[in-house]
């Protein structure tokens, strides 16, 4: 059994223990239980490992974080199964950060020159010399 199948079996059992009904999407029956977890549910750009429905309404998703977010960049990554904690993570950077466009060099140069103009003679004023003298 490969690690993904093993993880799916483990997640199915955890869901069943919590009162959820895990189903394949081909056998979808949202009325089977109050909480239904549908395996490999298609989304716009990928698949959720499980899409969670509560009272027939989509309520959340479970994603295989390691497989999708770590292994493509670090194929030799591993974890200790006994250290797994049940919970969730929301990557605020991934979902909410909107990068601001960088300022142009002309804008930065203008700001630097403006600050230079404001500070010209400041040290002289501090130590008692007059501007331009």
In a domain, 38, yes or no: yes
pTM of the entire predicted model: 0.49
In a domain, 133, yes or no: no
Structural domain total, the chain = 1
- The predicted pLDDT at position 100 comes to 86
- The predicted pLDDT at position 18 comes to 87
In a domain, 33, yes or no: yes
> Domain range for residue 92?
3-96
- The predicted pLDDT at position 111 comes to 94
In a domain, 114, yes or no: no
In a domain, 116, yes or no: no
- The predicted pLDDT at position 104 comes to 95
In a domain, 110, yes or no: no
Region of 117 on the Ramachandran plot (φ > 0 left; ψ -120 to 50 alpha; else beta) = alpha
Below-50 pLDDT ranges, the chain:
none
In a domain, 102, yes or no: no
In a domain, 109, yes or no: no
Q: Do strands 57-62 and 47-54 pair parallel, antiparallel, or not at all (unpaired)?
A: antiparallel
């Amino acid at each position: 059994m490969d690690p993904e199948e093993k993880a799916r079996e483990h997640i199915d059992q955890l869901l069943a223990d919590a009162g959820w009904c895990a189903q394949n999407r081909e056998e979808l029956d949202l009325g089977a239980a109050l909480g239904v977890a549908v395996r490999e549910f298609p989304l716009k750009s990928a698949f959720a490992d499980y899409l969670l429905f509560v009272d027939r309404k989509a309520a959340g998703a479970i994603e295989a974080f390691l497989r999708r977010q770590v292994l493509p960049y670090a194929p030799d990554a591993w974890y200790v199964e006994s250290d797994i904690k049940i919970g969730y993570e929301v990557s605020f950077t991934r979902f909410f950060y909107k990068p601001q466009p960088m300022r142009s060099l002309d804008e930065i140069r203008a700001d630097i020159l403006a600050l230079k103009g404001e500070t010209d003679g400041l040290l002289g004023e501090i130590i008692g010399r007059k501007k331009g003298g």
